[in-house]
Chain A
């Protein structure tokens, strides 16, 4: 059982490639923390520094209150699952899982027991005598996870373990890893670039961009209260609609996109006041755009005329892509809708669910409860 603390951790490759920039993070005991962000944002580098595979340029990493900066990977009591599985090609599945235990001089029968237990949990008992080459991608992934489990480490590290699997298997393994986490009650740090994985698996999520943490919070808070435009756009699929515009004052405050105007709800007014006649960014999620205006809180539903471009029926819902002014708007609509591409229709924006961001800092303007 372990907690992991990163204090102002920085990684600079060579002279001037700043891969990780002053990251602070506290992973609690038994927590499942997901690091998520676009390619190249430094996720793997952070994980590898925690693992001890990469030197820490600046800052400190603690595992269970022990400063590990200068402690070797093998003495940190962590296990890691790699994107490409990294199984030893010349060893059987059993030996792959037992290798780390043998090196640690664990008794033979204990090794047997641990490997069998792990194989049981993962459903790979029949494969123990095979070589990695004779396994499918999903099976290899299980072996890689098994190799981590048998070690009974303080901390599990996963680096995009599912990205080489097909979509269906990915969903299944996602569930299995979540179950495993509950079963083992271990601390896990999981890297992915897939926000769906992050949302579904993480107790908490760390959103990264260009080596900097953008926001660290539980999934629903990230979704509902993104601290900046990047988080707003990164979490959620399809992503949040973003509109650049201005705030104008004419009997109340209005967001003016040029093509259409939205009345700023009174609860936002205090914070928005200072932006009158200034650039501002308005964001609204696809599910907060509706087809009809007669909902319970219809005082916040504002009709906007859009031109429909693409209609994607998904079975349970319809994703509608449209253009409005110089922007595009994506909406999630009911399956019943009979909209055709090319039509001009009115959509209703639920402005109460909207987000405002400072046009320069990209920070959220209305984050109070």
Chain B
């Protein structure tokens, strides 16, 4: 194909995918009455919508909550997921394949099935309205176990044997020898876990009532549909913009790894 043609097609796609976002960004800065327009340049800049959002909901507290939750969940998944992945890939014990099959099976269960039992559990533990309810159930995922297991299986056994002879315990082997040689796997699992956790709405809606404990997607969702926005587009878009900002910033920061992780997570055996 000719180059100009390719570029034309690409540009059309870029415009199609970028326009809605840019429109949202510009709309948050317009007076409410102008928002219907299709143009991207506001005739008059206003920060009223943002002021109102910040005034009406504890959005920064929610941002902090989201960071605490997504950060802890990610740390937990990296630590525990790699532990289980290591055990399943390198240690020999009775029932190893059965355990692996069960873990694979849990991945096929939709969240809606475990939702109610999990909620009951949270109530019994008195964890409702606390970080624990948001973090603990997510600290280990079948996906991370699977990915770590596959990655560790591809590392040479000699490396582990050498560490064992050098005097490493199993945990030391994992954290001091395997981790430094599994950076791509750590980044892949880290990014995907963080994103999933960051975007989670359903579970926080169920276990968190206290506004001070809410995560960003949760509080923005409630703001949108809960009547507080008084059906005005400007504030809704501003709230959505605030929700998207951290992800956009993080993305531009980790862009390289992000693309790598997307490319490898699917391909790895």
**A interface residues, Cβ below 8 angstroms from B:** 48, 51-53, 72-74, 78-80, 82-90, 99-100, 103-104, 147, 151
Contact = CB atoms under 8 A, between A and B. Distances in A.
Given A82-B161, A84-B158, A103 B168 contact: yes
Q: Majority SS of interface residues in chain A?
A: loop
Interface of B: 156, 158-159, 161-168, 172, 177, 180-181
B266 to A, nearest CB: 25
Contacts of B172: 103
Contacts of B180: 88-90
B177 A74 contact: no
Nearest to B168: A103
A79 B164 CA distance: 10
A80 B167 contact: no
Contacts of B168: 74, 103
Contacts, number: 58
B162 A82 contact: yes
Most buried by A among B165, B172, B180, B181: B165
B100 to A, nearest CB: 18
Contacts of B163: 88, 99
B181 A80 contact: no
Given A88-B177, A89-B181, A73 B158 contact: no
Nearest to A98: B166
A100 B167 contact: yes
Contacts of B159: 86, 88
A151 B163 CA distance: 13
Contacts of A88: 159, 162-163, 177, 180-181
Given A84-B158, A88-B177, A103-B168, 14 more contacts: A51-B161, A53-B165, A74-B166, A80-B165, A86-B156, A87-B162, A88-B159, A88-B162, A88-B181, A99-B166, A103-B167, A103-B172, A147-B162, A147-B166
Nearest to A90: B180
Contact of B167 (A53, A84, A86, A104): A104
A79 B165 contact: yes
B156 A74 contact: no
B126 to A, nearest CB: 42
Nearest to A105: B167
Given A88-B177, A90-B180, A74 B162 contact: no
Given A88-B177, A103-B172, A74 B158 contact: no
